[in-house]
Amino acid sequence: MSFTLAIVGRPNVGKSTLFNRLVGKRLALVDDQPGVTRDLREGDARLGDLRFTVIDTAGLEEATDESLQGRMRRLTERAVEMADACLFVVDARSGVLPADEVFADILRKKSARVILAANKAEGRAGESGLLEAYALGLGEPLRLSAEHGEGMGELAAELRPLIEAATESAPEVEPQVDIDVDEGDEVPDYVAPHSGKPLQIAVVGRPNAGKSTLINKIIGEDRLLTGPEAGITRDAISVTTDWQGTPTRIFDTAGMRKKAKVQDKLEKLSVSDGLRAVKFAEVVVVLLDVNIPFEQQDLRIADLAEREGRAVVLAVNKWDTEGEKQDKLRALKEQFNRLLPQLRGAPLITVSALTGRGLERLREAILEAHEVWNRRIPTAALNRWLTGMLEQHPPPAPQGKRIKLRYMTQAKSRPPGFVVMCSHPQLLPASYSRYLVNGLRDDFDMPGTPIRLFMRSQNDANPFKGRKKPGPSKLRKHLGPRRAE
C-alpha cells in the first residue's frame, strides 16, 4: 500500500491546482469560484523520485448539519482519517482566517502528521500571510505556488522521510509470476479483466438519476457524495474496486443536461469531463430514471456512447418505486427497440441503487458486453457467412454497375471492425451495409455492441497498379547491367 497524502483546507485556496501539479495532469476541475470540488479524487503523484497517492478533497466548511456543505465536510474528514499525512493549505494572499484556526484544531486531533503550506505565496503579496501562518501552531509553513510550481522541492523534502518510513514498515508483496506459454499452446483472444488491467466502466445519465448512489452500492461504502439535490457530482471521479472477483475501475460522471440549458462555465467543464470519461471507458452504463425514461437527453447520451464505439448497457434505476413492474418492463423494451435501433440487442437491466437489487444481473450484463466488445471472428468463418448473405440477398446494381463483394476480414476489435473488399464501394447503398451489420449481430451473437463496417475498393490493395513498367535504362541504373539483363 502506497503512502497517501490528503490535501485539505478552506474553499478556493488552490487545493485542486496543487493536486493537478502533483499528478502532472489536469484531472481536477479548477475555477475561480469557491466550492468547485465536492467529491474525493485520488491520483498517482510524482514529486522528483517520490511516488505516492494524493487525495483532493472538498473545501472544509463550518456546517455540520445534513446540508450539502455538511455532507462534504464529513467526506473530507473521512479522507483525513484514511490518509497517512495531511497537507493543510492556507491562502497566503488572504491571510489566516478564523475558519483556518478552527480547521487547524480539528486536524491536530484527527491526523498524526500535518504539513502546513501557504499557497499563492509568489511575490511580495503573500509574505504577510506566510508569517501569519506560524500562529496556527503547526510548525514552519511551506511557501508554495501551485500555479507556478514554486516550493515543490521543499514539499518533497518534507514528504521524503514520511514516505521512506511508510515504505519500510509496509509488508512485502510477493511478485506476480508470469505464466509462460509454449509455442504449441493456444492463446485466447479474449483476456478477462485483471489487476494489471481492470475493467473500465463509465456511468452516465441525466442529473439526479442515481449514478453516485449506484456506485456507492457497488463498492459497498459511501465513497461518493449523494443527496436529493440534482447536479451534486461535478468531477468525473474514478473508483477502483473488486466487484465480486472482477477488478473494476468505475467512473462517476456529472449529470448531462441538454446542451441549450448548459450555460454556466462550471457545468460545461463538468460535462466535458464526463465526455472524456466515456472515451476512456470500455463499457458505458446509461442510467435511466424509471419515472421519466427515454427522454430526448437519454437518447442522445446512449447514441453518444455508441458513436464513441463503447459497449453499452442500459440500466433503469429506482425500480423499487415502480408498482406495475411487468407492464412497465414491456413498455420499456418496446420503447428501447423503437427509439434506439442502433443498439438493438443491448441489455436492458432494472436496478435499485438504494436497495441493491439487480446489481448481480447488471454485473453479468457488463461482463458479457465487454466480452462481445473484444470478440474476434476467424476470416474463414466470415467469408463463408458473406457467401450465404450474398446468395440470400445480392447487392444492387446502381447505374447498371454490378457490385462484387469479394472477401471479408476483421480488422480490429474494441469495437469489432470489419473490412469488405468490393468493387465500386462508393455506390453501395447504406441500407445494404445495415443489412450486413444486422446479419453480423444475429449470426455471430454480437447484440448491442457497436459494429464498424468499412467498404474498400480492391484497386486500393495494390499500390503499384497503374504505374509504368521501368525501362532497361532505369533497371541498369538501379540494379546494375548484369542483374538488369
Q: How high is the mean pLDDT of the chain?
A: 83
Average pLDDT over residues 290-311: 89
Rounded to two decimals, the pTM is 0.76
Least confidently predicted of 103-117, 277-291, 415-429, 453-467: 453-467
| % of residues, the chain, pLDDT over 70 | 82
Which pLDDT does position 34 carry in this prediction?
A: 67
Sequence ranges of the chain with CATH classification 3.40.50.300: 4-169, 199-226+234-373
- Position 355 pLDDT exceeds 60: yes
Report pLDDT for 471: 61
Asked whether the predicted pLDDT for residue 458 surpasses 80, the reply is: no
pLDDT of residue 224: 82
Calpha distance 33→212 (Å, rounded) = 24
What number is the average pLDDT over the span 27-49?
78
Q: For residues 210 and 358, what is the distance between their CA atoms, to the nearest angstrom?
A: 14
- Cβ atoms of 13 and 56 within 8 Å: the answer is no
Kindly report the CATH number that applies to the domain delimited by 4-169. 3.40.50.300
Give the pLDDT of residue 463. Answer: 55
Would the pLDDT of 188 be above 60? no
Give pLDDT tens digits for 251-297: 988 877 666 566 566 566 667 777 888 888 999 999 999 988 888 88
Which part of the chain has CATH 3.30.300.20? 379-461
- Residue 474 is predicted with a pLDDT of 58
On whether the CB atoms of residues 11 and 61 are closer than 8 A, the answer is: yes
Architecture of domain 379-461: 2-Layer Sandwich (3.30)
Higher pLDDT, 111 or 120: 120
Q: Per the annotation, where are the binding residues for GTP?
A: 9-16, 56-60, 119-122, 205-212, 252-256, 317-320
Show binding-site residues: 9-16, 56-60, 119-122, 205-212, 252-256, 317-320
- What would the pLDDT profile of 193-246 be if each residue is shown by its tens digit? 877 789 999 999 888 889 999 999 999 988 887 777 766 776 678 889 999 999
Instruction: State the average pLDDT over residues 413-439.
Output: 91
pLDDT of 174 above 80: no
**CATH topology classification for 199-226+234-373:** Rossmann fold (3.40.50)
Checking if the pLDDT of 64 tops 70, the result is no
Which of 25-34, 171-180, 298-307 is the least confident region?
171-180
Say whether pLDDT at 107 is over 80.
Answer: yes
Which of 155, 145, 24, 183 is CA-nearest to residue 85? Answer: 155
Mean local confidence (pLDDT), 438-457: 91
72 vs 306: which has the higher pLDDT: 306
Contact (CB, 8 A) for 214 and 201: no
Cβ atoms of 233 and 241 closer than 8 Å: no
